[in-house]
Structure 1
Amino acid sequence: MNTLKQKLKNLDNESIDRIIEMAWEDRTPFEAIWQQFELTEQEVIRLMRKEMKSRSWKMWRKRVQGRKTKHKQLRAPDVNRFHCSRQKSISQNKIAKRNH
């Protein structure tokens, strides 16, 4: 089984930015991140903690904990898309990240 460190070596910066973007999106479930990047919820949490500034990570964790739309099994059956129809697309990921 690959560790997170090994998995991250296989991801380019654009993919890491996309994972962070998907994690911030309210309606994108962790299962969608798994399907696209093969990262579990716990791995996404560790990635977010590693890549984001402390304050941004705390804000994200508070926002995500208990959010039913982040888990496909807990969603209402009428939620069948990954993002809100009113959500603007995020380009050039501007989310506060650590400078490595």
Structure 2
Amino acid sequence: MAWEDRTPFEAIETQYGLKEKDVISIMRREMKASSFRMWRKRVSGRKTKHLDKRGFIEGRFKSDNQKT
């Protein structure tokens, strides 16, 4: 879910109880350094990764396993 650009951190927190900083530390630990840097560059400040910054609700993909 964290790798997907359009899944907000809030959805990850609701489903797994992991805050954004926890997700970042897991991604840092589990990914190669270059992949982590690429991911961080991609999601840093991205509107789609934070519900407060999103300008849309309808039309986004939602997994059947996703609670929010």
With normalisation by structure 2, the TM-score equals 0.82
Runs of 4+ in 1 over 4 A off after TM superposition: none
Gaps of 5+ in 2: 63-68
Superposition RMSD in Å = 1.7
Is the 8 Å Cα contact of residues 49 and 57 (structure 1) preserved in structure 2?
yes
1:44 aligns with 2:9: no
Larger radius of gyration: 1
Percent identity for Structure 1 against Structure 2: 58
Distance in 2 separating the partners of 1:35 and 1:48:
18
Is the 8 Å Cα contact of residues 31 and 71 (structure 1) preserved in structure 2?
yes
Q: 1:40 to 1:80 in 2, by over 3 A?
A: farther
Q: Which has the higher contact order (CA 8 A, sep 6+)?
A: 2
How many corresponding residue pairs? 62
2:2 to 18, 23, 41: 23
